[in-house]
Every structure is written in structure tokens, then in C-alpha cells.
Structure 1
Amino acid sequence: MARRLLVDDVLDSLRERIVAGEFPEHAPLPGEHELVSQYEVSRVTVREAIKVLHAQGLVRIERGRGTYVNPTRSWTSLPAVIQALSTQGDPAQISRDLLEMRGILECGAAQLAAERIGPEDLAALDAQVTAMEEASAAADVEAFVRADLAFHAVVLAASGNPFVPVLMEPLSAVLAAARAETSAVPQIQAHAIVEHRRVRAALASGDGAAAREAMAAHLRQTAEDLRRYVTHA
């Protein structure tokens, strides 16, 4: 157990240093002896931490030469990718990328949810839209974002596919931050309330194709609002 904790400590530290840019793309990591000295751990501990970084795509091991940092596009660790983009990426591009990802996942989830949603789910959607309206009237951006996120969480869960909400969960923090930026604009709040009501109506109809299109229309409106009121690009 103690060695496992040491491995995790070294792993977390190296991952943070890579994400922070201390070791940029294609740069070598310090050698094994140097890492052993830096972290005051055994070679086995260092090797296990490097193996995990390699398995997550953050580094590549070149036999006889050393360990080198991979480009971000090669990483398979979602937390590392999120952290890197959040600290080094272009906020406007991150928002656009998030909307594209949401379109891939949430439109399909809405289609499934229309076929499986129950009265309790619909009541929960109504409650969140009402909470959005009340938060907007009170100029409470934090409460507005909470209700917005909760609405979408209901849709994801109502898809009936347990993998769908699990896939979205690691992005919850970055999605909340993106929502806080856009939801600070009153016009965007007004548009969001209208679009959420349309999504709710489509879900209640039981028409999967209509629900998919309603969610897609909502995300298109969000993308347009982002361009018009936030990025001006």
C-alpha cells in the first residue's frame, strides 16, 4: 500500500509538471537516476509511474534514448487533457470544442431519452427550467448555471444508457466554467430558457428524431450566442 501511494505521488507530480509545460512536447523527462533523487523513491516506484504515463499516452519510451513527452493529441488521460487545455488552451476554442463534443453525445442522448423518459424525469426538467427563470430574474448566474447543468444531467440519465452520464461526468467542472462565462449575458439566458423548454417539449412528445433536433438546435443557438456575445469571432 505504501509503495502504491508513492507511485501515485510521483505519477501525479510528473503529470502536473508535463501539463504545466515544464516538460514541453517532445522534450525528454529527467532520467531515472535523477527522478529517484528528486522524489527520494526507489527505481521501481519511478518505473511504475513512467509506465502509467506511457499507458495514458503522455509519454513515449524510446529504448536506449529515454522518455519523451507526447503531443497533447496523443494523450488518453481525460483529466490531463482537461487540465492542459484549461491552463494553456484558447478559451474560445475550448468552448467551441466542448459544444462539438456535446453535440455528439447529448443529441443522441436526447433521442434515446424521448423514447424512455418518464413522468418524474419530465417533472424534474420542468423544475430546472423554472429554476433557470427564477435565477435569471434574480440575476443569479451561479444558480442559473446549476439549473442548466441539472437539466442536461436529467436528459443524460433519462437516456437509460449508464455509460452516457459517466462519459460526461469528468467534464463537469470545465462545462460549469464555460456555462458561467456565457450565462453571465442576459440575452443568452433568455435564449437558453426558450431552447430548454423546446427540448423538454420534444422529449415529452416521445419523438426521438424531434428530441435530437431540438437538442441540436439548442446547441446551435448556444454556439451562435457564444460567437455574438462572448468571443465576437
Structure 2
Amino acid sequence: MARSSLVDDVAEALLSQIVSGALPIGGALPSEAELCEKHGVSRVTVREAIKTLAAQRVVDVQRGRGTFVLPHSAWTGLEAVLRATAFGADDGRASLQLIEVRRMIETGAAALAAERRSDDELAQLEECVEGMRAAHAADDLAMFVEHDIRFHDVILRATGNVFVAVLFEPLARVMRAKREQTSAVRVIQEHAIEQHGLVLAALRSGDADAARRAMDAHMTQTAQDLEHLVLGRAGE
């Protein structure tokens, strides 16, 4: 049996080539022999890696013909779809779509967290907002992003629903790069600090509807900042 780590490595390498366009949509993957030689692995490992991608509908294995890359619209693996979307030419559209998904998930999470959060989780959220303020004052982008991400992670955990964080985790990996892009603009940091403070106040009140509205307002501000201050769409 092939070692799972090797299988994952080969599947990841192939997915990266597909996402980048090195292996184009509709094109055939190299033969098993070529892939074995390139990656220094056995045929069993290559076959398992291809099975991994086929299970996500990234590729289609056609007996006697070869393995072909399927269009993005056919893909069912969340990680693969996120990678392809984030790598796409219309990066702005992908970023706005991610905010739409965040709005759907995080507004509901905020409502649940308002009713279920502990005092310790409130204290963690306060630390995150203070950390964002300190990072902004110090012009430390990396620290700002870390506290921003942690703030939202704490809210997801505060829902008390184990599925929320698990479902959100693949999105979070992609969104880290997006946050670094938007948070590099200092006025966006100022808006984010204000919005996070309002979300915190709503969570502290224990009012689920207020928390939902506060998070929705935060997502609206984030989308507007992205369009106007990052993508330069203010005149559209």
C-alpha cells in the first residue's frame, strides 16, 4: 500500500499544475510511467494520487484513453475549487465571492456566539481588538492580520458547534492571503478595528439579532473597502 503522505504529495503537485494551467483543462495528464519518474514514486502511489483527484472530479480517468483534466465547474472538492478560484485571473471577483460566503456563515455564527460565548471567549475577543489597535499603531501588518483572524476564529469556536469551524477551515486558509491584501491599506485597518469593536459589543450584549446585524455590517464594510480601496472600483 502506498504511504498516504506520498500520495498526498503527488496529488498536491498535480493539483498545483492543474490550477496554474501547466496541465490545462481538457488536457491529458502525463502517463503513469512519466509521473513515477518525475515524482520518484511507485505506480501504486501515482494511481492513488489520481484516485484522490478523480474523487473530487478534478480529473476523469478514461480506461484505455488516459486521465483528463475536467473544467472547474465539475470540481466537487472545496480545497480544489478554492485554489482554482484564488488563482484565477479575476482575483477581485474571487475575493468578493469569498466575502459573500463569509457573510452567509459568519453572520449566523455571530448570532449563535452571542448566546453561547463564555466570559473567557469575550476576554479573548477583547484582546484581539486591542491587538489590532496596537498593530495598527505600530504599522505591523502581520500582527494585525493575526489578531483579525484570531478574532473570527474565537467567534466560530464560541458557537459551540463543532461543524462550523471544520466547514470554515478550508476558506480560512485562502482568506489569509486576502486579508493581507486588504489590510495593507491603513484606512481599511481603521474600518476593521471599528467594525470588530461593534461586533464585540453586540456579542457582549448577548443579543443574537444585534450580533448578526453587526457582523453583516462588518462584511458590508469589508466588501466596500475591497471594491473602492483595493480594486479601484469607486467610479463604477
TM-score w.r.t. the length of structure 1 is: 0.89
Determine the structure 2 residue equivalent to 1:142.
142
Change (3 A) 1:8 1:177: closer
Change (3 A) 1:26 1:211: same
Change (3 A) 1:129 1:5: closer
In 1, the alpha carbon distance for the partners of 2:170 and 2:3 equals 27
Change (3 A) 1:179 1:42: closer
Matches within 5 A, 1:57-206: 57-206=57-206
Deviation (angstroms), 1:151: 0.9
Percentage of matched positions with identical amino acids: 51
Deviation (angstroms), 1:10: 3.4
Give the SS at the match of 2:24.
coil
Q: Is the 8 A contact 2:2 2:48 kept in 1?
A: no
The AA in structure 1 aligned to 2:104 is I
Deviation (angstroms), 1:33: 4.8
Give the SS at the match of 2:17.
helix
In 2, the alpha carbon distance for the partners of 1:80 and 1:218 equals 28
1:128-164, Cα deviation, whole Å (9 max, x unpaired): 1111112212222222111111111111110111121
Deviation (angstroms), 1:211: 0.9
CA RMSD of aligned residues (A): 2.2
1:140-189, Cα deviation, whole Å (9 max, x unpaired): 22221111111111111101111212222233342222112211222212
Deviation (angstroms), 1:16: 2.5
Change (3 A) 1:59 1:155: same
The AA in structure 2 aligned to 1:220 is T
Change (3 A) 1:111 1:47: same
In 1, the alpha carbon distance for the partners of 2:56 and 2:135 equals 41
Matched positions, count: 233
In 2, the alpha carbon distance for the partners of 1:34 and 1:181 equals 38
Give the SS at the match of 2:67.
strand
Determine the structure 2 residue equivalent to 1:212.
212
Give the SS at the match of 2:167.
helix
In 2, the alpha carbon distance for the partners of 1:108 and 1:60 equals 37
What stretches of structure 1 move > 6 A for 4+ residues in a row? none
In 1, the alpha carbon distance for the partners of 2:3 and 2:161 equals 37
Give the SS at the match of 2:27.
coil
Structure 2: unaligned runs, 5 residues or longer: none
Q: Is the 8 A contact 2:2 2:45 kept in 1?
A: no
Change (3 A) 1:64 1:115: same
Deviation (angstroms), 1:43: 4.0
In 2, the alpha carbon distance for the partners of 1:49 and 1:147 equals 36
Deviation (angstroms), 1:203: 1.1
1:85-137, Cα deviation, whole Å (9 max, x unpaired): 33334221221121111111111111110110111111111111111112212
Give the SS at the match of 1:30.
coil
TM-score w.r.t. the length of structure 2 is: 0.88
1:5-24, Cα deviation, whole Å (9 max, x unpaired): 55444333322322221221
